[in-house]
Amino acid sequence: MGWEKTEFEGLWVFQPKVFGDDRGYFFESFNQKNAPEEIRNIQFVQDNEAKSSYGVLRGLHYQLPPFSQSKLVRVVVGEVLDVVADIRPNSATYGKSFSLLLTENLKNQMFVPKGFAHGYVVLSETAIFAYKCDEYYTPEAEAGLRFNDDVLKINWTIPTDDMLLSDRDKNWPDFRNHKIFKRD
């Protein structure tokens, strides 16, 4: 339990300690003083929540500097496959992806640092997805990657025919043609 590093620099998985009894449960979804040092000083400025049905795929999204965002993501209801792709050109994991099953039962979370494209697909009948951001949403800085890119080779775990994507998400460029992300 607690915070666990991944092979991707700055990308963390968090499994909170959940206290439950016949009345329900309690857990701290975020406690700054218990976070890893590199996350401790982040100031989250915006909380977002999205409700979606089975097969909805949102992503892969990111914002260009100086508006790039770090995110702390989790599922409140349901189950999603959460996916990130490292788009930091100087990173040892540049062009690689990482996925994690986030569920309401596990209450697990992922901290996604700046320099990653992020997306998820809903695996349950419905899901409520919540996340904190350390930078405000800025439409003119919005960018993305094609969900079925042949470099990233993401296994979304559901048939493509079951996926529901916005027109915007269907038309992001592939990895070879994305807007280059440069560190802030």
- Show which residues are catalytic: 61, 131
Which tokens in the block code for residue 91?
A: 């990173």
Which tokens in the block code for residue 36?
A: 């890893």
Which residues lie below 8 Å from residue 159, measured CB to CB, with a gap of 6+? none
Per the listing, tokens 């915006």 go with: 46
Burial of 117 (0-12, 13-18, 19+ CB in 10 A): buried
150: left (phi over 0), alpha (psi -120 to 50) or beta: alpha
Q: How many CA atoms lie within 13 A of 70 on its CB side?
A: 18
Contact yes or no for 99/82 (Cβ under 8 A): yes
